[in-house]
Structure 1
Amino acid sequence: MRDLGAGLGFLIRGQRWVFGHGKWFGIGLLPGLITLVLYAGALVGLGYGADDLVEWATPFADDWSSPWLGLLRNALTALVFVLGLFLAVITFTAVTLLVGQPFYESLSEEVERTEGGTVPESGLPLWRELWISARDSVRILVRVGLYAILLFALGFLPVVGQTVVPVLGFCVTGYFLAEELTAVALQRRGMVLKDRLALLRGHRMRTLGFGVPLGLAFMLPFVAVFLMPGAVAGATLLARGLVGDADADDTSKGETAAEG
């Protein structure tokens, strides 16, 4: 529970940071507003077309009597929309970070500068950083897609599908949101996707404490836009904490080995 609280603390600290640095809050809003317009249109389209998609996918139920036909298709329509919303929450961060890469990179660097110490630099040109971010985002989305398919299938299980599955969905959402956001600071430290995922797995509860509340908040589109600058700032603080803990663990292991 302490690690969960610590993760939430980083999220709150990030929001406080941007509100205390109004210039960076304003800069961080623009990419989110652009992405919001795109996603709002996509979700509206899904809302209008989900029932037609379900009807097309379930021809076997055309001859079912009432109320079973309505119950099946209404449940599946709701699941399709929830799945679309789930994917939107995950991909919103990836797309917004890609659109706003230069803005969020500068914001993250400023957070590190105000926190003291040297600001790590990747040494890569902007085009290379954009390529790495896009490539890693696709890899993350593939993982998320596999989880989404599994959770969608489990959603048909009685009771479990209506209780456990939504909780697991929010955990998956929060975990990968944290990965996408901390990538801004961790890529500057030369950490590839495999290393970043290993770092987050080693601090799973802290990662969930940061990502799950943010994922819940991101369910509200306008809230997501206004929280995005603070989420990047908070993820930078989280990344600094995780790397510091990892370095401390490595030092401790080294001292133990030396003593042995």
Structure 2
Amino acid sequence: MRDLGVGFGYLVKGQRWVGAHGRWFGFGLLPGLVTLVLYAAALIGLSYGADDLISWATPFADDWSSPWQGLFRGFLTALFFALVLFVAVIAFTAVTLLVGQPFYESLSEAVDRSEGGDVPESGLPLLRELWISARDSLRILGRVVLYGVLLFALGFIPVVGQTVVPVLGFCVSGFFLTEELTAVALQRRGIELRDRLPLLRRRRLLTLGFGVPLTLAFLVPFVAVFLMPGAVAGATLMARDLTGAGAGAGAGSGDAEPGSGPAGRTVPAPGGSAPAADVPRDW
């Protein structure tokens, strides 16, 4: 259970870091604001069409008497919006990171530099990094949608659907939200998606301690914009812990931290600080 508090601590430290480096915080607001405008337009359009969509999907209820038809379709509409929000939290982060890729890369490097030790760099062109981020985000969103559909179906189970399922939903969102945010720092270390997921599973409580409170905060759109720079900073600090770089790195140590990449660095073994063999890259 200690890892839950440690994970939340990284979230707080990240917000403090950008608070102490106001320039990074200011620039970090721009990608979030752009994404927020796009999302606001999409959600407003969806809110107008949700009732028609539910009515179209439940033609068998057309002849139901009042109030059962309204209660049934109202319940489905609420579940539908819960599913949309479930996916939207992850999608908002993915789109914001993609829009602000150059900035967030620089922010993550600045956090690494402030903590001491070597600062891993991907060495890849910007377009290549954008392609990798977009590809991995789509893979994560695919997983989120599958979990969302499953949880949506479980929501029909009496009592369980109104108690356990929402908790599971927040945990799933928190896990994948943390994956998206730590990807900025871990990708610079050459750790791909197929290796990042096991790395986070081995420290599941740490991951949830970081991601679940952030998921709850991200449900408020403007809060998501203001927390995004600090979330990236905190995720970078957490990535250092996951790869073992945080414990060994010190200012002026001169030792290369466990990283990876085209320049011949090595990738830390998931869940430990000892370097492992180079991980094959599919990009």
Pairwise TM-score range, normalised by the shorter structure: over 0.9
In the alignment, what sits opposite 1:149?
149
2:29 and 2:229 in contact (8 A); partners too: yes
Q: Give the partner amino acid of 1:157.
A: I
* Alignment coverage as a number of residue pairs: 253
Which residue is equivalent to 2:215? 215
Which stretch shows the higher mean deviation, 42-51 or 228-237?
42-51
Residues 250 and 12 of structure 1: CA distance in aligned 2, closer, same or farther (over 3 Å): closer
**Which whole-Å CA distance do the structure 1 matches of 2:118 and 2:52 have between them?**
55
3-state DSSP class of the match of 2:243? helix
Q: Structure 2 regions of 5+ residues with no counterpart?
A: 246-267, 276-283
Partner of 1:256: none
Q: Matches of 1:46 and 1:158 in 2, distance apart?
A: 27
CA contact (8 A) 2:101 2:130 kept: yes
Match of 1:25 in 2: 25
Code of the aligned partner of 2:146: L
CA change 1:110–1:251 in 2 (3 A) is closer
What is the deviation of 1:250?
Answer: 5.6
Greater share of residues in helix: 1
| Deviation at residue 249 of structure 1 after TM alignment | 3.6
Structure 1 unmatched runs, 5+? 253-260
Distance 2:67 2:132 in 1: 51
Q: Residue by residue, what CA displacement relative to the aligned partner does 1:1-25 show, whole Å, maximum 9, x if unpaired? A: 2000000000000000000000000
Matches within 5 A, 1:107-118: 107-118=107-118
On the 8 A contact 1:107/1:233 being kept in 2, the answer is: yes
Give me the CA root mean square deviation. Answer: 1.5
Other-structure match for 2:69: 69
Q: Secondary structure at the match of 2:244?
A: helix
Tell me how far apart the structure 2 counterparts of residues 209 and 171 of structure 1 sit (CA, whole Å): 9
Confirm whether residue 121 of structure 1 aligns to residue 121 of structure 2: yes
Distance in 2 separating the partners of 1:95 and 1:249: 30
- The alignment status of 1:164 with 2:148, answered yes or no, reads no
**1:10 alignment partner in structure 2:** 10
**Could you say what secondary structure the match of 2:166 adopts?**
helix
State how far apart, in whole Å, the 2-side matches of 1:55 and 1:113 are. Answer: 55
C-alpha deviations, 1:126-173, integer Å up to 9, x for none?
A: 111111000000000000000000000000110000000000000011
In 2, are the aligned partners of 1:46 and 1:81 still within 8 Å (CA)?
Answer: no
Partner Cα separation in structure 1 for residue 41 and residue 219 of structure 2: 15
Q: In the alignment, is the contact (CA less than 8 A) between 2:242 and 2:272 conserved in 1?
A: no
Q: Would the aligned equivalents of 1:112 and 1:236 in 2 still touch at CA under 8 Å?
A: yes
Q: Distance in 1 between matches of 2:149 and 2:88?
A: 14
Q: Contact 1:43/1:85 (CA < 8 Å) preserved in 2?
A: no
When the two structures are superposed, what TM-score results if normalisation uses the length of structure 1?
Answer: 0.95
Counterpart of 2:190, as a letter, is G
Counterpart in the other structure of 2:263: none
Distance 1:148 1:164 in 2: 14
Give me the whole-angstrom Cα distance separating, in 2, the residues matched to 1:82 and 1:250: 39
Report if the CA contact (8 A) 2:31-2:99 is conserved.
yes
CA contact (8 A) 2:28 2:228 kept: yes
- Give the equivalent residue in structure 1 for 2:78: 78
Which residue in 2 is equivalent to 1:47? 47
Question: Whole-Å Cα distance in 2 between the matches of residues 180 and 54 of structure 1?
Answer: 31
Provide the rounded CA distance (Å) in 1 between the counterparts of 2:15 and 2:49: 36
Larger mean Cα displacement after TM superposition, 47-56 or 208-217: 47-56
2:57 counterpart residue number: 57
8 Å Cα contact 1:28/1:229 also seen in 2: yes
77-86 vs 52-61, greater mean Cα deviation? 77-86
**Mapped pair 1:102 → 2:102:** yes
Higher RCO (CA-CA < 8 Å; seq separation 6+) = 1
Instruction: Give the alignment's TM-score, normalised by structure 2.
Output: 0.87
Q: 1:249 to 1:135 in 2, by over 3 A?
A: closer
Asked if the contact 2:243–2:273 (Cα under 8 Å) also holds between the matched residues in 1, the reply is no
Structure 1 residue 46: Cα displacement = 1.4
1:91 corresponds in structure 2 to 91
Output the amino acid matched with 1:134.
Answer: A
Deviations 1:38-93, CA, capped at 9 Å, x for gaps: 00111111111111110011000111112211111000011111111111111000
